[in-house]
């Protein structure tokens, strides 16, 4: 799909959007599609796009994933998770029904926000403002997108970690196929672990790095520790690589377990900075997670800066990672 075709689909389906950069090299923000970012490089849309999400509405019976790069609240599961207030998994309607608005803009930058109310598995309500600011740098065969992802608590009641855990979670999604993988560099065996289904058959550790096959043929998710500096998705058939680097979290915030675990369970002890999700329906995600506050007072905001570099891959030499 080209950038022009994606813009035409937004227009045809009467979906509001905002373009940062150009239709050749830029990012389209789907203002009513969870505020998701769709990245265009050399005229080609690199992000996954689900056309069904442009014309249908998600419900508790069926979630229609738009693709792109979205901002969700972490954790997904546990007593503090946001997908289980009804016991069965569902994406919160505050997320699927959010209408982001542009609060600032420039030719190569923009900031969008949405007011989103959430309920965790314990039934605690969290009133919040989700914010996404974006600045891009463009060159031929290269696009750097720097985003600041934030969740600001605007409730009137002070909440401790025994009541609320929440942090920004950026989910960058791609169609995938045979040969696709994620590289976790300069890591140890302890830096990558399963968040639910075993993935031993899909990952290997060699020369101080993890290589994780993400071919869209099995469902699994791995957590990656805060010790890891960056992760990179590679799709040789399209000749693209996407590297994500998450910045430090603020003082008073901690990384935590974001995993999809039953709503009656406490969070685990393994803090997550990055995660990799592989879906059996032919897509995958490289994800970056921020921290939760030890105490949430009105206007407390958890933020994480994420730099995502989209580039054309050079042909690798034999034996080269």
> What is the structure's pLDDT at 314?
76
> What is the structure's pLDDT at 23?
96
Q: Does residue 75 lie in a domain region?
A: yes
| H-run or E-run covering 93 | helix 93-96
- Count of domains forming the chain: 1
Torsion of CA 154, 156, 159, 163, to 10 degrees: -90
Q: Does residue 191 lie in a domain region?
A: yes
How far apart, in Å, are the Cα atoms of 37 and each of 142, 200, 203, 258, 317? 17, 31, 28, 22, 33
* Residue 189 backbone dihedrals phi, psi, to 5 degrees: -65, -30
- Mean predicted lDDT score pLDDT of the chain: 95
Query: How large a percentage of the chain has pLDDT more than 90?
Result: 95
Distance of CA 282 to the CA centre of its chain: 17
Whichever domain contains 66, its CATH number is 2.70.98.10
Q: Does residue 97 lie in a domain region?
A: yes
Got the DSSP string for 104-167?
EEETTEEEEEEEEEEE-TT--EEEEEEEEEEEEEEETTEEEEEEEEEEEE--SS-EETTT---E
pLDDT band at 141 (very low <50, low <70, confident <90, very high): confident
pLDDT band at 140 (very low <50, low <70, confident <90, very high): confident
Q: Does residue 12 lie in a domain region?
A: yes
Q: Does residue 218 lie in a domain region?
A: yes
pLDDT band at 4 (very low <50, low <70, confident <90, very high): very high
How far apart (Å, rounded) are the C-alpha atoms in residues 100 and 117? 14
Closest CA to 40 of 20, 50, 25, 29: 25
The answer to whether residue 139 scores a pLDDT higher than 90 is: no
How far apart (Å, rounded) are the C-alpha atoms in residues 305 and 156? 27
pLDDT band at 320 (very low <50, low <70, confident <90, very high): very low
Residue 211 and residue 183 in contact, taking contact as beta carbons nearer than 8 Å? yes
How far apart, in Å, are the Cα atoms of 121 and each of 73, 219, 238, 254, 296? 13, 24, 40, 20, 17
Q: Does residue 233 lie in a domain region?
A: yes
Closest CA to 284 of 228, 227, 240, 229: 240
Kindly report, residue by residue over 247-258, the tens digit of the pLDDT.
999 999 999 999
CA-only gyration radius of the chain, Å: 19
Kindly report, residue by residue over 72-126, the tens digit of the pLDDT.
999 999 999 999 999 899 999 999 999 999 999 998 999 999 999 999 999 999 9
The answer to whether residue 319 scores a pLDDT higher than 70 is: no
Q: Does residue 318 lie in a domain region?
A: no
Kindly report, residue by residue over 8-41, the tens digit of the pLDDT.
999 999 999 999 999 999 999 999 999 999 999 9
Q: Does residue 266 lie in a domain region?
A: yes
Other Cβ atoms within 10 Å of 21 Cβ, number: 22
How far apart (Å, rounded) are the C-alpha atoms in residues 151 and 130? 5
What residues have CB less than 8 Å from 201, skipping those under 6 apart?
A: none
Kindly report, residue by residue over 174-204, the tens digit of the pLDDT.
999 999 999 999 999 999 999 999 999 999 9
Longest dimension (CA), the chain: 59
Got the DSSP string for 180-249?
-EEEE-S--GGGEEESSS--GGGEEEETTEEEEE--SSS-EEEEE-TT--EEEEEETTTTEEEEEEE-PP
The model's pTM is 0.95
> What is the structure's pLDDT at 121?
96
What is the extent of the structural domain holding 174? 3-312
């Amino acid at each position: 799909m080209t950038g022009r075709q994606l813009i035409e689909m937004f227009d045809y389906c009467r979906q509001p959007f905002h373009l940062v950069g150009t239709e050749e090299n830029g990012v389209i923000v789907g203002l009513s599609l969870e505020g998701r970012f769709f990245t265009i490089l050399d005229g080609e849309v690199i992000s996954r796009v689900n056309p069904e999400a442009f014309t249908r509405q998600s419900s508790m019976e069926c979630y229609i994933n738009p693709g792109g790069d979205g901002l969700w609240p972490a954790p997904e599961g546990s007593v503090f998770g946001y997908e289980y207030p009804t016991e069965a998994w569902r994406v919160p309607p505050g997320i699927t029904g959010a209408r982001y608005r542009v609060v600032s803009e420039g030719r190569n930058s923009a900031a969008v926000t949405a007011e989103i109310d959430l309920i965790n598995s314990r039934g605690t309500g969290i009133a919040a403002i989700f914010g996404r600011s974006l600045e891009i740098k463009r060159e031929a065969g290269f696009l750097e997108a720097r985003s600041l992802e934030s969740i600001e608590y605007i409730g009137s009641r002070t909440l401790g970690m025994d009541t609320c855990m929440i942090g920004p979670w950026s989910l960058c999604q791609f169609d995938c196929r045979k040969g696709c993988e994620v590289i976790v560099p300069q890591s140890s065996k302890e830096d990558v672990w399963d968040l639910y289904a075993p993935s031993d058959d899909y990952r290997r550790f060699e020369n101080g790095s993890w290589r994780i096959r993400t071919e869209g043929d099995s469902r699994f998710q791995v957590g990656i520790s805060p010790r890891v500096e960056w992760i990179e998705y590679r799709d040789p058939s399209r000749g693209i690589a996407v590297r994500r680097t998450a910045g430090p979290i603020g003082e008073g915030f901690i990384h935590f377990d974001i995993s999809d675990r039953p709503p009656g369970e406490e969070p685990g002890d393994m803090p997550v900075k990055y995660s990799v999700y592989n879906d059996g329906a032919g897509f995958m995600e490289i994800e970056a997670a921020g921290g939760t506050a030890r105490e949430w007072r009105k206007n407390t905001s958890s933020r994480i800066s994420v730099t995502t570099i989209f580039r054309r891959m050079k042909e690798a030499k034999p034996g080269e990672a």
